[in-house]
Amino acid sequence: MPRERMSESESGDEQDAFQFKFILLGDGAVGKTSLAIRFAEDDFGKQYKQTIGLDWFMRKLSLRGGTEVAIQLWDIGGQSISGKMIENYIFGAHAVLLCYDVTNYQSFQNLEDWLRVVRKTFVNEEKKPLVALVGNKSDLSHLQTVKLEKHKKFMDDNGIDNNAFVSAKSGDSVFSAFFSMAAELSGVTVSKSEIDSLSQPVRAEIVNHPNRHVPGMEPGTTKEVRTEEEGSYCSLQ
């Protein structure tokens, strides 16, 4: 059975207005598990551990207008593409994130195979999942082998409207990628500037200068705090 990862803030008894199943697909080592952990727990594991079968995460979001969304995030192992259970894992998904490593061109080429499995799974279904093309490890842009033109061509050739370049390591654009898809599925309209405001955590240093005393801090000390840029329209729990 897949294990659930849930933070304390997600353990309340309130009912969710929406609950969506998100699937992470792609080759092994492209960073799918790291993306899931970054989104669900805002953490990053430095050691690679292969996902066997699948893993399961959850996070709740509050969208504009008080719309509550629970995202079930299924992290499917890269070796599962030839497994008998792959279509069972994918079936019922509301959103599919096709993930590749921007420094590994083969992982990008293999997305054709992953997309083929998705289409086969939903061939007889009237409701198709929302599909996004996600290039991970954007923090290694100096080693990037998949050019933007190739990324865009894959989207055009396959009728994909959603995409993102993200970094599970730094957290850059991870929250905004999931948030924008959750908003679209919920029918909640958000602007590009609102989405961009969630793209990257901001680290700020608060300094207590000698002539200014801040309550709760010793004079002449510094304290580092971590915040996330958030608009008044939503909160990430």
Mean pLDDT per 10-residue section of the chain, whose length is 237 residues: 38 64 95 93 70 81 88 89 88 97 97 96 95 97 95 98 95 93 91 67 39 44 37 39
pLDDT at position 235, please?
38
Number of H helices, E strands in the chain: 7, 9
> Scanning the structure block, which residue is given the tokens 């593409």?
81
Handedness of CA 2, 98, 137, 171 (dihedral sign): negative
Q: Domain segments of the chain: what residues?
A: 8-198
pLDDT at position 47, please?
53
- The full length of the chain comes to 237
> CA 10, 14, 18 angle in degrees (round to 5)?
85
* pTM listed for this prediction: 0.75
- Homologous superfamily of 8-198: P-loop containing nucleotide triphosphate hydrolases (3.40.50.300)
pLDDT digits (tens, 9 = 90+) for 30-39: 999 999 999 9
